[in-house]
Amino acid sequence: MNSTTPALPFAVPDVREKAAEPERSIGAILVKTGRLSALDADKIMRFQLERNLRFGDAAIELGLLTPADIELALSRQFDYPYLLRGESAISEDVVAAYEPFTNRVESLRALRNQLMWRWFDTGAERRTLAIASGERGDGRSFLAANLAVVFSQQGQRTLLIDADMRNPRQHLLFSLENRGGLSSILSGRNGVDAVQRVPALLDLTVLTAGATPPNPLELLGRPVFGELLAEFSRQFDVILIDTAAATEGADAQTVAARAGAALIVTRQNVSHVAKARELVGLLADARAHVLGTVLNNF
């Protein structure tokens, strides 16, 4: 009997649409964010002209702003957003969003660049990468979330998909609704509202796992999942997919086969070498290209 795969149950939003360009001066940014009053901004500008100083130096000398305030404004000015602790519901485990200038986040940027050179920049069809690990506790979801942030900070239109429908984490890390998500899309019960922008972080969109289904592997094996990724590939530059631990089923293999490539995550003093080696073999069986293994020591 002939059968056809149903059309995707939604149209993917064009994430390239941006808000109107805001005022770009440091003073205007700080006034808009509530860190500086208009009166104090005027005082700083007068002092700046009198002493021939940069705005930030003048503000610090007057005691009206701190170096952290200036750093924040510069990041907004150059479209390099980051968050301040205590001012966002996003988990502080998303260190790339809170500590962009630290050595550990610099190592994430180095990994991002290697992935660009070895995968994303090597072909227009190579937009999707599975993040896999052998066991729970390897730090896979942590790495996926932080990689998504550093890709978005580079100006890449980035989509993070939580395909770990057995133990989902991304909605918790990014403080997002999880009533609709990947599971409801694959089962045909949800639409475009399942894809959520992260307003505080430019160019980052998240598709949460959704309600926990009884049949995650079957959902991931449906043709609509491949069609979904193909459609997303027309809208995003980078698609990262968090997967279930390999010890919990063949979900990671299935996702990696759809994505075409995988990055394996291990954790220092936690992961077992035998499990990581077994995962490499499983991904090879799925004909997924293993880009490498990351030792997570965070």
CA dist 244 → 133, 169, 228, 272, 273 (Å): 8, 10, 19, 16, 18
Q: Looking at residue 1, what is its pLDDT?
A: 46
Is 188 inside any structural domain? Answer: yes
Q: Which domain holds residue 37?
A: 26-78
Same domain, 164 and 286: yes
pLDDT digits (tens, 9 = 90+) for 102-115: 999 999 999 999 99
298, 89, 78, 96 alpha-carbon torsion, rounded to 10°: 10
What does the pLDDT read at residue 23? Answer: 58
Looking at the fold, whether 115 and 165 belong to one and the same domain comes out as yes
Asked if 185 and 263 sit in the same domain, the reply is yes
123 and 202 housed in the same domain: yes
Task: Give yes or no: residues 146 and 267 share one domain.
Answer: yes
Would 179 be classed as within a structural domain?
A: yes
Distance CA 139, CA 265 (A): 7
Whether residue 205 lies inside any domain: the answer is yes
CATH number, domain at 184? 3.40.50.300
Residue 119 DSSP code: T
Please give the chain's pLDDT, 298 residues, in tens. Answer: 444 444 555 555 555 544 444 457 888 888 887 888 999 989 999 999 999 989 989 999 999 888 878 877 887 777 777 888 888 899 999 999 999 989 999 999 999 999 999 999 998 889 999 999 999 999 999 999 999 999 999 999 999 999 999 999 999 999 999 988 999 999 988 765 689 999 889 899 999 999 999 999 999 999 999 999 999 999 999 999 999 999 999 999 999 999 999 999 999 889 999 999 999 999 999 999 999 999 988 7
Contact 291, 118 (CB under 8 A): yes
Q: Which of 78, 104, 120 is where one domain is finished? A: 78
| Residue 241 falls inside a structural domain | yes
Task: Tell me: do 129 and 71 sit in the same domain.
Answer: no
Question: 239 with 101, same domain?
Answer: yes
* pLDDT for position 14: 57
Query: Which pLDDT value is given to residue 79?
Result: 74
> Does residue 44 form part of some domain?
yes
Is residue 64 domain-shared with residue 139, that is, in the same domain? Answer: no
pLDDT (0 to 100) of residue 165: 98
Is 10 within the bounds of a domain? no
pLDDT of residue 200: 85
The pTM for the full model equals 0.84
Q: Say if residue 198 is in the same domain as residue 236.
A: yes
Could you please report the per-residue DSSP string of 65-97?
A: --HHHHHHHHHHHTT-----TTS-SS-TT-HHH
Q: Quote the pLDDT of residue 15.
A: 52
Structural domain count, the chain: 2
Residues 74 and 130 in one domain: no
Q: In the prediction, which pLDDT does 75 show?
A: 77
Please report whether residue 154 resides in a domain.
yes
Residue 53 shares a structural domain with residue 130:
no
Does residue 87 fall inside a structural domain?
no
**231 with 289, same domain?**
yes
Query: Burial level of 65, CB count in 10 A (0-12/13-18/19+)?
Result: buried
Which alpha helices (DSSP H) does 92-181 contain, by range? 95-98, 103-118, 140-153, 170-173
